[in-house]
A and B are shown apart, each in its own frame.
Chain A
Amino acid sequence: MNISLPWLNDYIDLSESPQEIASILTSIGLEVEEIENTRAAFEGIVVARVLSCKPHPNSNRLHVCTVDGGAGPETVVCGAPNVREGQMVVFARVGSTVPRTGMRVERKEIRGVLSNGMICSSYELGIDEDHSGILVLEENAPLGSPAHEVLSRHDVRFVIGITPNRGDALSHIGVARDLSAVLRRPLRYPVPRFCIEGFGEALPIHIEDAMLCSRYSAARIRGVKIRPSPAWLRNAVENVGLRSINNIVDTTNFVMFEIGQPMHAFDLHKLEGPRILVRAAGEGERFTTLDGVERTLPQGAVLICDGEKPVALGGIMGGMNSEISNDTTEVLLESASFNPTITRRTSRRLLLASESSFRFERGTDPSRTVWALQRAIDIITDTAGGEVCGISDIITMPVCQRTVALDPQNCERILGYHVEPESIREILEFLEFHLDIVNGVFHCTVPPFRNDIEREIDLIEEIARISGYDNIPVPERMTLHAAPPYNDEAFRSACRRAAITCGFDEILSPTLIERKYAHASPVEGVIEVLNPVNTERPCLRPSLMPSMMETVSRNLRCGIRTLRIFEIGTIFIDTAPSEKRSFDSIRQKTAIAFALTGYAEERSWYSRERPFDFFDLKGLLTTFFTHLHLENKIRFNYDGQKSSSELALSLEIDGNSLGELKELSQYVRKLYDIDQPVYYAEFDLDLIERYQETSLKFVPVSRYPMVRRDLSFIVPENVETGDIIEMVKSLGIKILRDIALLDVFRHEDFGVGNKSIAITLSMQSDTSTLTDHEINMVVMTVVERIEKTFSASLRSTESTRLPGKG
């Protein structure tokens, strides 16, 4: 909201600089977002002397003048009849902007003479309506100084962000009231001259439902003359950023910005009856507002009607059909109090907000409607003439006065410091609370414009706000509590660290994704947002894959050819049909996804280029789970055929499926416009978290030597290494500490359909050095079982005895 500094001065004496006022306003919760002033508009406009003035050689009316604005003489063509040599004038240099018209002053030739600027009239400067000639300043005006200083055009305005609880501060008097409390300076209310006593009813008014409108005050003024507003009124409304329209409309806006009461003026001759009916809009009812738009109204919107038709959308905007025009001679001024909730709903539904709806939504002061009428009548009769011929005031709900008790001790309990009761009293009284102090407790009658004050805590906030938050002490010491552990987040952090350590880059991508991607995954139960502003991405991601693939695709197009990325994020799946959707039917799971594409090894002096393959991802995941100490709990499984060409594995933990890793299909790659292989894995992180290792224990190591035996077998192609290793492990040989795969290769000597698999057995005892006999027994057992189970034949054996410590 815009608040003009000179206007504020009508209600409180402010000698502080605009910056000081701004910082006070901000410190009491009326945040000044910007300080704007008309200085900017006066830039390049200075006080100058007319050095010479001669008639224009090619014109009877024009003069050719030389002026000095402190930067040397300039030639200017001037058309004003009153320009004379030696005058002090206001000179707009080339490049400046004429304040009234907003036109730029250009260097231009006027009838053969080059004019370098412009001597201004008071009209052009926006001071008054006088455009009969140039403005002539006092003889002693300081040459070359900025014109706004000489003209006292310090029209500073503050752009204030008013929080939604402070409907009372949406006016100059409201802001001045807060300032008066901080500065302990009196607030001056204007005193209306017009007396409402002794008038008959303006017109019949009927309010159908008290919920719509708690008070409707109106005045009928006849014999008005619609004119442009006088300079002071126009300046006032323009200073708060409104467009000046005419003396009647400007008056209603002026009063709204003075006291916060929105008003509306009807052309009385356009009202049937004339009478007023306030009623709720029916379903589908249509109405054309002042802005010329025909709107379908939501049911229940407040409609102001005359004897036969709607004439205004109550609290929001007037209608085209009853608008003030230049021929208007009789007006009906409305000053009412409309329901905040209904106003807000209607305004939201229609996407139509106005200065008026903004104030009604936040609550206005119903006790001020008549006062506002009186103020408007004073200004209208001054500027438009006319006389009042009727006053009406219908109250459907009386204002109820709230009383809230404040125990000063609770002030200290909340704020943490002692506030003097005397200071509390002063603050509340300046804010227009009425106080009864009983046994040290303040019983505060809340003024009707403060609908935000209902409880003691609200009063405590007022005390804190006006005393200044700076007065609240900052303790030097803090107490600590023993904090409970926070496992979820700690585990997610550990996963993030593990993935980064494995060389993956973390990405964070949008939760909302495009429909074509959301439905590309075979997942059921995709959830869509009902009201997205951005309709391109309405779906909550059911998997991290779409955003991971978008990232891959985008980066490949940027010329990055190798990506190792991961993301940790929430995915959403609804287990119920959308009409039965509930909080409990929605699964919100934390997932982790990995993607690899490009090259495991770049070409370099020590290696050849090697593209990533499936086993790079499998290996990195193994490393990842090892970082989490879960490598022994995770199992890689596949469904279907052995040794199939499909590159996919599922992951399990303790028999529960975690997710899978795979090479993405052509179909998926095409969807994201990716033309190189991508390896992708996604897991349920919440499930993994349940198996996290929390108790680490020391295990003693053997003091005796470890013996290794390498064995290679020729086996049929369909034998898988995993099966061999699992089988050997399942033998449960105590001294067989480890079995690992060494290599797999094929050679024509082994015969078609066969391959060689080499494994290494590591053997060790905790109690003695193994004898050759013990070692040979193990090797024999293993060889025999492998040969039997897998139709294998032993090819070779080698042994190494590693030194032990014994």
Chain B
Amino acid sequence: MDIIDALQTLSEEIKNTAKQISSLKDAEEFRVRFLARKGIIAELFEAMKELDASEKPQVGKRLNELRETARKLYMEARERFEKGPAITSVPIDRTLPGRTLPVGHQHIITRTIDEITAIFISMGFSIACGPEIETDWYNFEALNFPPDHPARDMQDTFFIGNDLMLRTHTTPVQIRAMENGKPPIRIVMPGRVFRNEVISARSHIQFHQVDGLYVDEHVTFADLKGTLVAFAKRYYGTALRYRFRPSFFPFTEPSAEMDITCYLCGGKGCRVCKNTGWLEILGCGMVDPNVFRAVNYDPDRYTGYAFGIGIERTAMLRYGIDDIRILFENDLRINRQFIWP
């Protein structure tokens, strides 16, 4: 007999037998008949060894298929009769809670840094980082803070040695980036900074900033405005109103601060915006030529802009947190409130 025909007959037999299974006992009989070690299929595998080498692959393939079909039919039948009665005999309480996995939470500050840097990355910026202990050169001198200038008073400094301090801003990373690269430089610089002050609800001895820097030929104040307006619209919403007003930073000239309409009162004036209707969101300006000279860039050839965003302030406003100390106390009842889908 042609073995292929025999296999066809067997296939039909398997299907027909399967249809008639009506109990667990029938299912077991089915298994013994077709699938057991001494069952029909196993016997056929054994018999296959006698065949011509040319027939073996085709027959082997067909047998494997048959075995899979039979196994599937058997499993289905068993499941039907094994589980079937259980459903009717013990009612299942479907209100039992499911089995869950623990959920981890990101800290508000690192999340805010991620959101802000992501916007600048989408505008072609890269990320750079620098050390938290800095030298006077990087933290002050190269950034055009002359010794004994009142501008240094704006930043109460933790000294840790002769000429060494905890950085008071992330701006020194600008100097390091310019020393290590060449224009065009387009980076944002997130990091932790320190001020030697009394800790209160409004100020802490440590906080975080994201600094930004773009240096190239033909970079103008208009480009600065364009970039920061684009950022603010992405972060705060396109409907926002903004203003740039002159300010002072030793490392930029002209310098500015950017305000947006207070989104808590819509500009009418409230406690948070000190009745001005405006919220300061960042400081910025055109890189001072003295900074370029400090890193041996030609200020007649290159121009650039820089900006700095305070992360704690941004996050506190956004989430309505009124005490900065909360951010570093790590009360998990608070940290765990923040989940970003």
Contacts and interface: CB of A to CB of B under 8 A. Distances in A.
A529 B150 contact: no
A723 B114 CA distance: 43
A464 B305 CA distance: 15
B105 A506 contact: yes
Contact of B254 (A348, A460, A499, A563): A460
Interface stretch (B4-12, B19-27, B323-331): B323-331
Contacts of B156: 533
B330 A457 contact: no
B151 A558 contact: no
Contacts of B230: 478
Contacts of A530: 158-161
A570 B192 contact: yes
B274 interface: yes
B286 interface: yes
Contact of A511 (B107, B135, B151, B206): B206
Given A416-B223, A511-B192, A483 B126 contact: yes
Nearest to A498: B104
Interface in B204-232: 205-206, 216, 218, 220-223, 225-227, 229-230
A164 B133 contact: no
A691 interface: no
A493 B248 CA distance: 34
B336 interface: yes
Nearest to A548: B330
Nearest to B158: A529
A506 B335 contact: yes
B332 A606 contact: no
Given A508-B328, A588-B132, A483 B125 contact: yes
Interface stretch (B45-53, B83-91, B95-103): B95-103
Given A470-B243, A472-B221, A344 B150 contact: yes
B153 interface: yes
Interface of A: 26-29, 31-34, 163-166, 341, 344-345, 348, 361-362, 413-417, 455, 457-458, 460-461, 464-465, 469-470, 472-476, 478, 480-486, 488-490, 493, 496, 499-512, 527-534, 540, 551, 554-555, 558, 560, 563-565, 568-570, 572, 578, 581-583, 586, 588, 604-606, 803
Contacts of B288: 457
Interface string B301-336: 001000000000000000000000001111111011
Contacts of B34: none
30 contacts: A29-B245, A165-B248, A413-B303, A414-B303, A457-B253, A460-B253, A464-B254, A465-B254, A469-B246, A474-B222, A474-B229, A475-B223, A476-B226, A478-B123, A478-B230, A481-B186, A493-B114, A504-B104, A505-B332, A506-B105, A506-B335, A507-B107, A508-B107, A510-B205, A511-B166, A512-B205, A527-B133, A528-B160, A534-B205, A581-B160
B110 A508 contact: yes
Nearest to B135: A583
A32 B150 CA distance: 20
A152 to B, nearest CB: 24
B329 A505 contact: no
Contacts of A570: 132, 192
Nearest to B149: A164
Given A478-B123, A606-B99, 4 more contacts: A29-B247, A34-B274, A478-B227, A488-B127
A554 B276 CA distance: 39
B218 to A, nearest CB: 8
Nearest to B197: A533
A336 B313 CA distance: 42
Interface in B9-65: none
Contacts of B243: 27, 469-470
Contacts of A563: 332
Interface centre among B105, B328, B331, B332 (most CB of A within 10 A): B332
Contact of B148 (A344, A461, A478): A344
B165 to A, nearest CB: 9
Given A461-B246, A507-B107, A414 B158 contact: no
B129 A506 contact: no
Contacts of A483: 121, 124-126, 186
Contacts of A480: 123-124
A418 B288 CA distance: 21
Contact of B158 (A165, A413, A532): A532
Q: Please list the 8 inter-chain residue pairs (A to B) with the smallest Cβ-Cβ separation, ordered nearest first.
A: A416-B222, A416-B220, A29-B246, A163-B248, A503-B102, A500-B104, A486-B127, A461-B254
A469 B158 CA distance: 35
Interface in B96-145: 96-97, 99, 101-107, 109-110, 114, 117, 121, 123-129, 131-133, 135
Contacts, number: 242
B204 to A, nearest CB: 9
A721 B331 CA distance: 40
A416 B223 CA distance: 8
Contacts of B135: 583
Contacts of A464: 221, 246, 254
Given A416-B220, A457-B288, A534-B205, A474 B336 contact: no
B102 A510 contact: no
Contacts of B247: 29, 31, 163
A554 B186 contact: no
B128 A486 contact: yes
A250 to B, nearest CB: 27
B77 interface: no
B332 A555 contact: yes
Contacts of B255: 461
A367 to B, nearest CB: 22
A683 to B, nearest CB: 17
A29 B109 CA distance: 30
B154 interface: yes
B177 to A, nearest CB: 11
A475 B226 contact: yes
B70 to A, nearest CB: 13
Contacts of A507: 107, 330, 335
A345 B121 contact: no
Contacts of B275: 34
Contacts of B153: 164, 348
Given A472-B221, A551-B330, A529 B104 contact: no
Contact of B221 (A415, A485, A540): A415
A745 B158 CA distance: 57
Nearest to B157: A531
Contacts of B197: 533
Contacts of B106: 496, 500, 506
B198 interface: yes
Contacts of B105: 500, 505-506
A164 to B, nearest CB: 4
B184 A472 contact: no
B244 interface: yes
Given A415-B221, A457-B253, A461-B246, A485 B126 contact: yes
B245 A27 contact: yes
A459 B127 CA distance: 33
Nearest to A358: B150
Contacts of B148: 341, 344-345
Contacts of A560: 332-333
B178 interface: no
A501 B105 CA distance: 9
B76 interface: no
Given A416-B221, A527-B160, A588-B131, A564 B123 contact: no
Interface in B243-277: 243-248, 253-257, 274-276
A584 to B, nearest CB: 10
B121 A28 contact: no
Contacts of A569: 192
A486 B160 contact: no
Contact of B154 (A164, A475, A502): A164
A544 B121 CA distance: 30
A705 to B, nearest CB: 10
